[in-house]
Amino acid sequence: MLTQALFRALDKKAIWVIGIFLAVAILVPMANLLIPPGQFGHVPTYLVSLLGKYLSYAILALALDLVWGYCGILSLGHSAFFALGGYAMGMYLMRQIGSRGVYGNPTLPDFMVFLNWKELPWYWLGFDNFWFAMAMVVVVPGLLAFIFGFFAFRSRVTGVYLSIITQAMTFALLLAFFRNDMGFGGNNGLTDFKDILGAPVQAQSTRVILFAATAIALALSVLVCSMIVNSKLGKVMVAVRDAESRTRFIGYRVEYVKLFAFTVSAIMAGIAGALYVPQVGIINPGEFEPGNSIEVVIWTAVGGRGTLIGPIIGAIVVNLGKSWFTSALPEFWLFALGALFIFVTLFLPKGIVGLWKQVFGAGRQTAEPTPPTPARSADIERGEDPSTFDNPQPRPAE
């Protein structure tokens, strides 16, 4: 059963993508460790961490694509799941500091000592254990998405309304995590990390391993997504995206399909956040910023939604652009990003991957039909079959 699903997942495209990132997981560390600095081909350690950051963004973009590109759920709150995964990792890293903090308290992180707290809050218990923390990286975002999605999809909240409440969710978390008495370090967040699994976070070898772990996680994410989208469930997801009510009338529980996609996607986003935090060295409430979620949407749109490689390309390309822009012309970055989004929406509705197919795939019979959901206004009104009587009130779920 599982082997068949795995076999289906490994189509030609997926093998390529997975192979590329497994190769990257080996080659980049080798270029860093084996080629001496100054010589051609050497990848400096700061660049390894920067690339690792991009790859964790790529996992996040892939996660969003699974719900948006394949299932038609435009989530504007994915940075919340990313940040929660990041906080779970950050809490583990804080507990590893031990008595090396400024105040030298063996159990309490510095900010708690500063706030005059006497003991660790209950929700910090267990985070000194790496595997418990890793479980929380998966459980916390997954559970939030499951509960949130359960109520939202059951009540048939779709289109912009869903986008708005996901945005509200991440904003609410932003405000909550800013508060000092939440116990997550307030607006400073969690930082000043020392060790991960006993190895110093700043060390070259640790950074290289973190990079390799991120590249492997990305390859595994592609495998999981490929398994889902190539299964019958994946086809049903696309059916939900294109004709939601029709899918209901052939007997699928659309709310469960969406809930599955949303929860899996949130878990992937959480893992991406957990890999991001040790590589950048800080997690603070700014990661919940609604604008961050919108940036993820832009990466996905630029790369090409509804494909597995598109969001990865989009995340890397846009962030390379961002790195260049924010050092060369910092004040123009947001304008450039906005212009990019408008350009892609108007002229490249299928993103870079769509352009590639147009240019290079014309000879072969790859002409896919334009799905009835262009990147534009289709997300506003979807799901209702135009041929049936437009029921003025949304039907209660029960």
Partner 1 sequence: MSKAQDTMLYLDGVSVAFDGFKAINNLSIIVRPTEMLAIIGPNGAGKTTMMDIITGKTRPDAGEVMFDGRTDLTKLDEATIANLGIGRKFQKPTVFESHTIWDNLEMALKKPRGIFNALFYTASDDDIARITDILDTVRLLHRKDEFAANLSHGQKQWLEIGMLLAQDPKLLLVDEPVAGMTDSETEETAKLLREIAKTRSVVVVEHDMSFVRELGSRVVCLAEGAVLAEGTLDQVSANPVVIERYLGR
Q: Least distance in Å: CB of 155 to partner 1?
A: 13
Closer of 159 and 273 to partner 1 (Cβ): 159
Helical H segments across 155-187, by residue range: 159-178
Q: Which of these ranges, 175-183, 203-211, 308-316, 383-391, lies near partner 1 under the rule CB under 8 A? A: 383-391
Q: Which of these ranges, 31-39, 117-125, 159-167, 246-254, lies near partner 1 under the rule CB under 8 A? A: 246-254
Closer of 326 and 366 to partner 1 (Cβ): 366
Q: Which of residues 209-228 bind partner 1 (CB under 8 A)?
A: 227-228
Q: Is residue 388 a contact residue for partner 1 (CB under 8 A)? A: yes
Question: Residue 73's closest CA among 353, 232, 223, 266?
Answer: 266
Say if strands 199-200 and 282-283 run parallel, antiparallel, or are unpaired.
Answer: unpaired
143 phi, psi to nearest 5 deg: -70, -40
Q: Is residue 246 a contact residue for partner 1 (CB under 8 A)? A: yes
Q: Is residue 385 a contact residue for partner 1 (CB under 8 A)? A: yes
What gap in Å lies between CA 268 and CA 55, rounded to an integer? 13
Q: Is residue 368 a contact residue for partner 1 (CB under 8 A)? A: yes
What gap in Å lies between CA 121 and CA 187, rounded to an integer? 18
Among residues 243, 301, 315, 353, the one that binds partner 1 under rule CB under 8 A: 243
What gap in Å lies between CA 127 and CA 189, rounded to an integer? 16
Among residues 236, 283, 337, 375, the one that binds partner 1 under rule CB under 8 A: 236
Q: Least distance in Å: CB of 157 to partner 1?
A: 16
DSSP string, 101-128: SSS--SSS-HHHHHTT--S--GGGTTTT
- Site size with partner 1, rule: CB under 8 A: 41
- Assess contact for 268 and 59: CB atoms under 8 A: yes
> What is the three-class DSSP state of 195?
strand
Site string for partner 1, 168-207 (x = CB under 8 A): ----------------------------------------
Among residues 105, 155, 245, 323, the one that binds partner 1 under rule CB under 8 A: 245
Among residues 36, 37, 330, 392, the one that binds partner 1 under rule CB under 8 A: 392
> What is the three-class DSSP state of 303?
helix
Q: Least distance in Å: CB of 373 to partner 1?
A: 9
What gap in Å lies between CA 188 and CA 186, rounded to an integer? 5
Among residues 252, 282, 340, 349, the one that binds partner 1 under rule CB under 8 A: 252
CA distance readout (Å), 397 to 40, 151, 392 = 63, 10, 15
| Other Cβ atoms within 10 Å of 169 Cβ, number | 22
Q: Is residue 231 a contact residue for partner 1 (CB under 8 A)? A: yes
Rg (CA), the chain: 22
Contacts of 259 (CB under 8 A, 6+ apart): 146, 149, 150, 153
Q: Is residue 2 a contact residue for partner 1 (CB under 8 A)? A: yes
Among residues 36, 37, 106, 251, the one that binds partner 1 under rule CB under 8 A: 251
Q: Is residue 267 a contact residue for partner 1 (CB under 8 A)? A: no
196 phi, psi to nearest 5 deg: -130, 120
What gap in Å lies between CA 55 and CA 230, rounded to an integer? 23
Q: How many residues does this entry show for the chain?
A: 398
Q: Least distance in Å: CB of 385 to partner 1?
A: 6
Q: Least distance in Å: CB of 70 to partner 1?
A: 11
| Other Cβ atoms within 10 Å of 42 Cβ, number | 15
Q: Is residue 381 a contact residue for partner 1 (CB under 8 A)? A: no
Among residues 250, 328, 359, 362, the one that binds partner 1 under rule CB under 8 A: 250
Among residues 16, 103, 123, 249, the one that binds partner 1 under rule CB under 8 A: 249
381 phi, psi to nearest 5 deg: -120, 110
- Contacting residues toward partner 1, per CB under 8 A: 1-2, 4-5, 8, 227-228, 231-233, 235-236, 238-239, 242-243, 245-246, 248-254, 256-257, 260, 368-372, 385-389, 391-392, 395
